[in-house]
Amino acid sequence: MNFLSPRLLRSFFILFASQILTPLAPQFAHAQSQSSPPAHKAPPPRSLAAATDQQQFLSYWTTETGWRTELQLRNNQVGHILTVTPVLRTADGAETPLFPIVVQPQEVKTVDVATAVGSSAPQLIGTYGSVALRYSAPSQINLYAVSMVMGVGHSIAFHIDATGEDQTENVGSREGIWWLPNGTANDYLVLLNQGQNPLQLILSLFDASGKAYVQNITLPPRGMNRVSVRQIVSAAKLSGSYGGIKVSAVHHAGSLDTLHVLFDQDAGFFAVMKMFFYDPRAQLQERDYAGTGQWTIRAPMLALSSPDPALAFPVGTLLQPELFVRNTTSKPIDALLSFNWRTDTTTGNSPGHTLHLIPYETRRIDVAALQDGKTLPQKAQWASVTMATTALPDEVVAVAASYDQSLHYGAQTPFSDQLAVQWEGGQWQYDPQHDSIITAGNGSSKPTQVAFTIFYNEGATKYELDQTLQPGEQMWMDIGKLIREGVPDKNGNTLPANLTSGSYDFRDLSNNRVGTLFEGKVIYDKTYGHVTYGCAACCGWGIPYLWYDPLSVIITALQDDGVYADYPCESEVDDVSNTFYNTWVSEATSVATVNYYGTHTGVSVGSTTSYCSALLTSNDAHERCPALARKPTAPVNTTPKVTIDSLAPNPIPQSGTATAHVTVDPAANIELSISSGGTGTATFGTGGNTTLQITETTAVTVTAGNLSSNGSPDLTLSSSYNGAAVPNAFSSAQFSVTTGACTATYASSTGSGLYACPSNVQISDKYNLQQYCGACSFSCVPISFDSTFTPSGCTPTTGSIQGAGNQVLTATETGRFAPSDCSLHGLQIQTTVTNAQGTTTTKYVGGNIGLQCNANGSPVCN
Partner 1 sequence: MQKRNYRKPLLFCALLISSDGKAAAQDRETPEFHALVPDVGVTSPGNRVTVRGVGFPSDAVLYLGGFQVRQTTFIDSTTLEIVTPYLRPGSYKLQLRSGQTTVTSKVTFKSLPSETDSAIDKALALASQGNVSAAIAVLTDVAKNNVDPQVRSAAHYQMAQIYFQQGDWWRWAGESGAVFEPESGAAVQTSWEYRLSYARSVYLLPIESDPETPVRLVSWAVEYDVTRNPEPMFYRSLINARYGNLDKAEMDSKFILTTDPDNPSYRALAAYIATLSGHRMDLNHLYNESVTDPRALTLLGEAAFLTGDIGSAQRWWALASKQYPLGASLAYWAGKKHLARGQQRVATSLLTECTAMEPTSKEAKDAQALLATSRASHIQ
- Interaction site with partner 1 (CB under 8 A): 646, 648-649, 653, 656, 658-659, 773-775, 777-783, 785, 791, 793-798, 830, 832, 834, 836-843
Specify the DSSP class assigned to residue 553.
E
State the nearest-atom distance from the C-beta of 860 to partner 1, in Å.
26
Q: Which residues, in sequence order, are bridge partners of residue 292?
A: none
Element spanning 229, H or E: helix 229-236
* Side-chain-side CA neighbours of residue 1 (13 Å): 11
Residue (121 or 699) nearer to partner 1, CB: 699
Q: Which of 783, 779, 781 is nearest to 833 (CA)?
A: 779
**β-strands 633-639, 551-554 pairing:** parallel
- Choice between 393 and 751, CB closer to partner 1: 751
Handedness of CA 506, 511, 512, 514 (dihedral sign): negative
Bridge partner residues of 718 (DSSP): 673, 732
Which of 549/645 has CB closer to partner 1?
Answer: 645
* Residue 399 CA: distances (Å) to CA of 155, 268, 362, 472, 704: 20, 20, 11, 20, 79
Distance CA(807)–CA(818), nearest Å, equals 34
Nearer to partner 1, 48 or 775 (CB): 775
Cβ 613 vs Cβ 641: under 8 Å = no
Angstrom distance (rounded) from CA 20 to CA 215:
46
Whether residue 382 contacts residue 344, with contact meaning beta carbons closer than 8 Å, is answered with: no
Nearer to partner 1 among residue 162 and residue 849 (C-beta): 849
In the chain, % helix, strand, coil (3-state, to 5) comes to 10, 50, 40
To the nearest whole angstrom, how small is the minimum distance from the Cβ of residue 741 to partner 1? Answer: 12
Q: Can you give the three-state secondary structure of 620-650, one letter per residue? A: CCCCCCCEEEECCEEEEEEECEEEEEEEECC
**Smallest separation, CB 36 to partner 1 (Å):** 38
Least CB distance to partner 1 at residue 742 (A): 12
Distances (CA, A) of 161 to 158, 257, 778: 10, 11, 76
Order of strands, sheet of 592-594, starting from the edge strand that comes earlier in the sequence: 558-559, 600-602, 592-594
- Our CB check for partner 1 shows the closer of 202 and 783 to be 783
Neighbours of 821 (CB within 10 A): 12
3-state SS track over 151-205:
ECCCCEEEEEECECCCCCCCCCEEEEEEECCCCCCEEEEEEEECCCCCEEEEEEE
Residue 685 CB neighbours (<10 A): 12
Q: Which helix (DSSP H) or strand (DSSP E) does residue 480 occupy?
A: helix 479-484
Q: Compare residues 158 and 785 and give the one whose CB is closer to partner 1.
A: 785
- Supply the minimum distance, in Å, between the C-beta of residue 764 and partner 1: 13
Closest distance of CB 797 from partner 1, Å: 4
| H or E stretch at 669 | none
* Smallest gap from residue 648 Cβ to partner 1 (A): 5
- In the bound complex, what is the minimum distance in angstroms from residue 845's beta carbon to partner 1? 9
Of 548 and 785, the one with the shorter C-beta distance to partner 1 is 785
Q: Which residue lies nearer to partner 1 by CB, 110 or 837?
A: 837
CB of 683 to partner 1, least distance (A): 17
Residue 51 Cβ vs partner 1, minimum distance, rounded to whole Å? 50
Q: Which is nearer to partner 1, 352 or 791 (CB)?
A: 791
Which lies closer to partner 1 via its Cβ, residue 118 or residue 799?
799
Do you find a cis peptide bond into 393, omega within 30 degrees of 0? no
Output 215 or 839, the one with its CB closest to partner 1.
839
Query: For residues 256 and 365, is the Cβ–Cβ distance under 8 A?
Result: no
271, 407, 528 from 264: Cα distances, Å = 9, 9, 13
- Closest distance of CB 26 from partner 1, Å: 51
Q: How far is the CB of 791 from partner 1 (least distance, A)?
A: 5
**Smaller CB separation from partner 1, 656 or 847:** 656
Could you tell me the smallest distance in angstroms from the CB atom of residue 727 to partner 1?
A: 25
> What's the chain's length in residues?
862
Q: CA 748 to CA 847: how far, in whole Å?
A: 7
**CB 29, min distance to partner 1, A:** 48
Of 234 and 840, CB closest to partner 1: 840
